[in-house]
Amino acid sequence: MAYKRNPMRSERISSLARYVMADVMNPTITAATQWFERTLDDSANKRISVAEAFLATDAILELYINVTDGLVVYPKMIEKHLMAELPFMATENIMMEAVKRGGDRQELHERIRVHSMDAGKIVKQDGGENDLLERIANDPAFGVTLDQLKAIMKPELYVGRAPQQTEEFVENYIKPITEKYKDILGMNVEIKV
């Protein structure tokens, strides 16, 4: 399809990955029938399946490097999709805030569930905009205005320790690897498959 970016290379990655996953069955079937007794049917199968699995995996990695080399990220599209889903993610916080203001948790839970299902139907079936916040703001049981709801629609309020965990992971696991292999980072790959 003309609108896709890198479809042939990405589809080739998918195809080769399926091959590698299926190739795993070769030694499994061999083990099931002769328990790796080192007979000819074991070694002949291994000479083909193991070598081809490594070659296919190498091709997948080369294609992946080639595809990601030209990767373009569209922050505004990410933000648009995130903000369309954020009201659903915030429902627990909205409900608990309404409970703190004296609302009945069971009743509010049911109301927010119904509002969420109705708003979700508009988004998923009709392709419309997410109007969950408006529904909640118009429901007197919650006692909250649309401006108050919009004020808590900040993604950083709903990610927990993810930023710190990511930084720790990069520092403790990724940096040592990139330091070890810094001489091959950024290499260009010629596609040969």
Round to whole Å and give the CA distance between 130 and 125. Answer: 12
Q: Regarding predicted confidence, which is higher, 192 or 73?
A: 73
Q: What is the pLDDT of residue 40?
A: 76
Band (pLDDT 50/70/90 cuts) for residue 188 is confident
With CA atoms as reference, report the closest residue to 119 among 129, 109, 108. 129
Predicted confidence at residue 99, as pLDDT, reads 93
Q: What angle do CA 99, 94, 142 make, to 5 degrees?
A: 60
Confidence (pTM): 0.66
Mean predicted confidence (pLDDT) in 145-162: 93
Helix spans in 103-185 (H): 105-126, 132-137, 146-151, 162-169, 175-180
